[in-house]
Each structure stands twice: as structure tokens, then as C-alpha cells.
Amino acid sequence: MSDHGLFPFTEEHEMIRQAARDFARNEIAPIAAEFDESGEFPRKTIQKMGEMGFMGIEVPEQYGGAGMDTLAYVLALEEICKADASHGTIMSVNNSLYANGLLRFGTEEQKQKYLRPVASGKAVGAYSLTEPMSGSDAGTMRSRAIHDGDGYIINGRKSWVTSGPVADYLVLFTMTDPDKAHRGITAFMIDAGKPGYVRGKKEPKLGIRASATCEIVFEDYRADVTDRLGGEGDGFKIAMTVLDAGRIGIGAQALGIAEAAYEASLEYARTREAFGQKIGQFQGISFQLADMKTRIEASRLLVYQAAQAKERAKKTGERFTLEASIAKLFASETACFVTDAAVQIHGGMGYSKEVPVERYYRDARITRIYEGTSEIQRMVIARSELGLR
């Protein structure tokens, strides 16, 4: 790994990066195509990742995690995604979207009950913000939690819940006071084993096919007051704060996919011959490789920079929204640029399921959509620069 001298890499970082790289190469890469084809959830490898501490990297050991920093998380996720973005998505939701919110806003009781099993990889966590009529405009949700005695009754339909079909617990965002718009949204910890939690149809996706996604319908689900994460009306800010962390994870995922596609292309350009020479000797191919490499290195700097900003924020409480959005925007657009070029360099072979670049191309596409589209990232960046928020 080139650390550019800009980032404080330690022996611990090197260890987790190497452990993730070995695991990804030996255990994930050999099964990635098979699970992509079947769309089955890779339970065994995810369990092993839990045992290795990858499902709660930044969670303190007292809550079942590995007690490491954001840079360690990003390095490990990048390596896992280099082998398979589906495994990376499951890891990212557990770490970024689920554990982060609980760590920052949860009570001690909630951390013991909901964080410990997920951070240690014994259970799977998910995050549920989106609804059929509320995607990018996340403040307009229709699902409702209504006071009932000492708890709440929740009804409504949530969509695009990553890990929804297999999750044991999830962080849910729902409306407690529609008159207050986004300030009427409240977060709840949900136990998928309780009555009223109904898994809907599984989405037939283009990529990250082994990461299961579905609708969740709440039918008179009862949440106790002690299951409320933060105060009433705090939900939107919790959702946004958690998404800032999530977007760094998606940046790392995009970086891993792009690196895999680039390395495959480099190897192909060195070995494939046409018109009496290796195709890498043609300027048309070599210039593409140069552009791929340049954008990957720029993405790496932005993703690691955002990880450092998040780490600093643990002490200062400052927001790292801008760094996270810039990293996600650039890395995800790079992943699509690089995987598209990789397919082109491979020619007909790049369009075949017999080589992994076809999967990288499909997997990269989601990184420009989930956890905030590229258009939303541009909106966040521009508002910040213009001083509008």
C-alpha cells in the first residue's frame, strides 16, 4: 500500500488491511461469482467476517467490536470490496449505517441489547429510511409511529432495505408528528423477530446481487419507549449524521471495485495480443489505463481524507458532511468510469460472465445511487460551499 505520507498509517492498520486482503482473496473471491448468480445471502462468509471483527470495526470492544478507527474500517472495506462488493455492502451497512447510529445516539441499554450482537457478527443489522414515495427527499416519509400507552404503534411501508430479508435488527426512521415535516421524524430500534414486522418482496437487482434487499411492511408493530433512538423529532438529524459516515463507506466500496477492475485490465493489457503486439502497447489502451489509475489514486486520497475527518469529529463533534459527500461522489463516479473502461479493454470477454469485470461493471453502478445519489452529493457540496446550510 502506498500511504502517500499523508495519512497516519500504523502497524494496526497494516494488520487489518492484510487480514482483510487475505480473507477476501482466499474465502470471498472464489465464491463471488456463484453467489452473484444465485442471489443467495453469503451467510457463512459473513459469519466468519464477524469472527474476524470486520462487522463492528469502530465499535469499542466492550460492545463486541474491534475497537479500531475509521481509517482501519475503510482499509478493510476496500479490500473486501475488491473481491466482492456484495460482501462489502453487508459489511458497510452493519458498520456505518447501523453501528454508527447506535454508538453515537444509543443509551447504554440499547448498546447492550442491539449493538453487541451485531458488532460481534452474531446478528445482522440494517437501516431503513427510504419509502416508496420518499427516496432522495427523505424528509417526506408517510410511515407513522403513534403513541400508545408507554410505547408506540408503527405502521407503514419502507423500501430498499439493504440486508432487510436477513436482518435481525434495524434502525427505523418514521414520522411521529407529520405537522413538523422533517422535524417530526423519530428513530426507533426494531427487532425483526417481533409481531408486525413483515418482510416484503425481495428486489431483483442488477448488481450486488448477494446482498439481499427488500421492502419491510410494519403492521401494528409495537415499540417500547426504551427502543426510541434519541428524542422525538431527532430522527432526521440522526439519519443524516449516520449517512455522512455511510457515504465514506460507499466511497471505500467504490474504490475497491475500481481497483479490482483496473488490476484485471492491466493484466489483460500485458498479456492479450492483437495486430502482432500486446494491446497495452497501443496508445488507445495505455491512455485509458493511465486515466483509470489517476482517478483511482485521487479517489483513494479523498476517501482516506474523509475517514480522517470522521475520526477527528469523534473528538470535536464537528460535521464531516462535505468531506464525505466529495469522497462518495468522486469515488463512485470513478468506479463507473473505470469498470466501463475495463469492459471495453477486455472487448467481448468483458461482456462475459466468465471474467469478473462484467460483475464489477454491474456492481459499480449502485454506488452512484444508494446512500444519496450523485445529484444529492452535488447538492450537499454546493450548499456547503455557497453557505446555504
Of 48, 157, 182, 293, the residue at the interface with ligand CAA (CB under 6 A) is 182
Q: What is the rounded CA–CA span in Å between residue 245 and residue 287? A: 34
Of 312 and 319, CB closest to ligand CAA: 319
Residues 146-175 that bind ligand CAA (CB under 6 A): 160-162
The number of angstroms, rounded, from the C-alpha of 183 to the middle of its chain's C-alpha atoms is: 26
Which residues 234-293 are close enough to bind ligand CAA by CB under 6 A?
236-237, 240-241, 243-244
Rounded to a whole number of angstroms, the minimum distance from the CB of residue 26 to ligand CAA is 27
Listed ranges 196-204, 259-267, 292-300, 366-374: which one lies at the site for ligand CAA (CB under 6 A): 366-374
* Interacting residues with ligand CAA between 284 and 323 (CB under 6 A): 319, 321
**CA distances to 168, 246, 307, 329 from 369, in Å:** 25, 13, 21, 10
Q: Taking CB under 6 A as the criterion, which residues in 196-235 touch ligand CAA?
A: none
Residue whose CB is less far from ligand CAA, 138 or 285: 138
Q: What is the DSSP string of 144-210?
A: EEEEETTEEEEEEEEEEEETTTT-SEEEEEEES-GGGGGGGEEEEEEETTSTTEEEEEEP--SS-TT
Q: In terms of DSSP bridges, do strands 125-128 and 169-175 run parallel, antiparallel, or are they unpaired?
A: parallel
Q: What is the largest CA-CA distance in the chain?
A: 80
* Grid coordinates of 127: 437501516
User: How is residue 362 annotated by DSSP?
Assistant: H
Instruction: Give dist(CA 175, CA 129) in Å, integer.
Output: 11
Asked about 371 being catalytic, the answer comes back as: yes
In the complex with ligand CAA, the residue whose CB is nearer, 120 or 321, is 321
CA distance 360 to 207: 8
> Least distance in Å: CB of 162 to ligand CAA?
3
Q: What is the footprint of ligand CAA within residues 86-145 (CB under 6 A)?
A: 93, 127, 129-130, 136, 138-139
Nearer to ligand CAA, 214 or 302 (CB): 214
Q: Which residues bind ligand CAA (CB under 6 A)?
A: 93, 127, 129-130, 136, 138-139, 160-162, 182-183, 236-237, 240-241, 243-244, 319, 321, 370-372, 376, 379-380, 389
Catalytic residue set: 371
